[in-house]
Amino acid sequence: MPERRVTIGSASGLHARPAVLFTQAAAACAADVKLTKGDRTVNAASVLGVMSLAVGRGDEVLLSAEGPDADRALDELVGLLASDLDAAPQG
């Protein structure tokens, strides 16, 4: 099962808006994605699960995926987590 470690870039960590954006992206993946902080692992597509981890800015988490396009899914999700999802959208 492929895994990636990533440091959270969002100013408020994975709370509210960043958690929703991340879990929506995870749910859209063909792979089954898990998010781990410390000794707790949750389904990355569950906003309540993700928020229950209390992930803050600068925290390191582990993403793992199983299924079709697992590596591609992890690459995409790592990019999201490393960016500031609290920043105002451009456009």
Q: What is the pLDDT of residue 9?
A: 95
Q: Cα separation of 1 and 30, whole Å?
A: 14
pTM beyond cutoff 0.85:
yes
pLDDT, residue 90, reads: 54
Domain residue spans in the chain? 3-82
6-50: pLDDT as tens digits: 999 999 999 999 999 999 999 999 999 999 999 999 999 999 999
Work out the mean pLDDT of the chain and round it to a whole number. Answer: 94
| CATH code of domain 3-82 | 3.30.1340.10
Query: What are the residue numbers of the active site?
Result: 15
Quote helix, strand, coil % in the chain, to nearest 5: 35, 25, 45
Q: What is the pLDDT of residues 49-74, one digit of tens each?
A: 999 999 999 999 999 999 989 999 99
Evaluate if residue 87 carries a pLDDT over 90: no
